[in-house]
Structure formats: C-alpha cells, structure tokens
Structure 1
C-alpha cells in the first residue's frame, strides 16, 4: 500500500468532512418538526335587510274589502327568514282617516333566498270600514298605503 502525500491527506480529510456535512444535512431534511398557523375570512353579514311590499287592488269604498299579498325582495348574499308581519294604513288626504281602514297580515316564518325578488311572505285583507254616521267623502280618490314591517 502506498502512502498518501500530505496534500492527498488534506484533500481526503476535506472530502470526508464534506461528506459528513452533506450526509448530516440530508438526515436533517428527514427530521420532523412542529408548527402552527391559522387562516381567516369574514363571513357574510347575515340576514341583511329585505324590502317588503303590500299589493292590493284599488277602488275601495266604505264597507268593502280586498285581499292583500305581501312579498319580499332580498338583495343580500345570504338567505333570511321573514317572521311575523305587522301592517298599518296611511292616506294622502288629511280628512281620510287611517282609523277607517283595517288591515291584517297573516304569515309564518318564510325563507327569502339570497338575491331574489317577489317571494310571497304572507297575505291579509284591507277593509274600508263604513262609519255609518260620518261622511267619508274625503277618501274619494285618496291614495291608501299599506305599510308593512316584519319582526
């Protein structure tokens, strides 16, 4: 066997150290570790606000009544439930008293899907009560408005 020169021994030693370093690095690549992290996103604002509508035929006279259809529009990105409805009457003529009118609103909890219009949410009646003792001519050609809200 031949003896290695000083230069060859240094080269062999450096190569050995390099192999150990590379081998150690490869072994490190297979070690396990721990860690943590998180992610987040904002949910929809939920429910949102729906627009309610009351639709009924015109031409009421004292003692008559007409059916009322209640619908809802939902422009939000999530569905919402319309609960119990409440309704009242206003008129555009001071002498045409809202107290002469009676409006009902019957509903159950109704799902109004996201981005929909005209979803039926209830029904009722609008009655023009005949006072029997007071002249109700002020209501001739008056505009009667049914205002509706949900709880």
Structure 2
C-alpha cells in the first residue's frame, strides 16, 4: 500500500465534501401537517391582603371631632391590589366608655396599592365624640379609642 501524499489527502477530502454537498448517497425526508393547540397556567393568587391603618390625633372630648386618614401597606412581592369600600367601627379600652358614643366615617378612594408599598393613602373620614347631655361620659377620660378599619 502506498503512502498518501498531502496533495492526495486534500483531493480526497474535497471529493468527499463534494459528494455530501451534492447529495450523493444522502437522503432526507420531512412531514407536513397542520394543527391547533392551547396552553394554560395558573396566575398567582395576587390581590393579597393589605394592612389598613386609621390615623388621627388624640385628645378627644365630648362634642369634639378629629380628621382621620386611612392608609394601607401591601407586603405582597408580586402583585398590587385595589382597596375598595372602607368600613370603620370604634372600640374603647375602658368599661363604661361606650363605642356608641363615637361616630366615624370612611370616605373611600378606590386606590390601587402597589406591591411592596407602605403608607398609601386610601381614604379619609372624621371621628366624632358625640356629646350626651343626659349621660355622664366620664368613663371615657383617658380611654384609648381605636378605629377598626376594613375593606370590602
């Protein structure tokens, strides 16, 4: 057997390449088709729970009122949420200081609370300590008045 020279090796490689490129001895096939499809994924639960706050100045006396601001915190990392209608009620920490002696309003702003935000203003209102001319309201002296706020 004879040794292949560099020139013969180059010619042999070029010939093999021409044979493959020309399709000599090679075969291929393909299919054609039509079709339809669909996919689905579940969204995050989103619209999670916000923490609502009622903020107002202290020092109420019978017949006095205070402006109330309502804010929201949204700790959700993925989704903003909307605060709808606000509801507010009053509680006190002293027996005999009746929540019914207080009135509170909550004007709603239908505000979107961005994800991971704090202190977003979502409404306003008024807290009133109704003066009773017929009942001694001394039980409310030094009482802590709490506004409980919710959203629907």
Provide the TM-score with structure 2 as the length reference.
0.77
Segments of structure 1 that go 5 or more residues without pairing to the other structure are: 1-18
The alignment partner of 1:23 has SS state of coil
Map of 1:51 onto structure 2: 51
| CA displacement at 1:38 relative to structure 2 | 7.0
Partners of 1:22 and 1:94 lie apart in 2 by 100
Aligned length: 129
- SS state of the match for residue 44, structure 2? coil
Aligned match of 1:23: 26
Partner of 2:4: none
Name stretches of at least 5 consecutive residues in structure 2 with no aligned partner: 1-19
**RMSD (CA atoms):** 2.2
Q: Distance in 1 between matches of 2:110 and 2:121?
A: 11
Shift of 1:42: 3.8
1:15 aligned partner: none
Residue 131 of structure 1 aligns with which residue?
Answer: 132
User: Whose helix fraction is larger, Structure 1's or Structure 2's?
Assistant: 1
- TM-score where L is the length of structure 1: 0.77
Structure 1 outlier segments of 4+, above 4 Å: 19-22, 33-41
> What corresponds to 2:121 in structure 1?
120
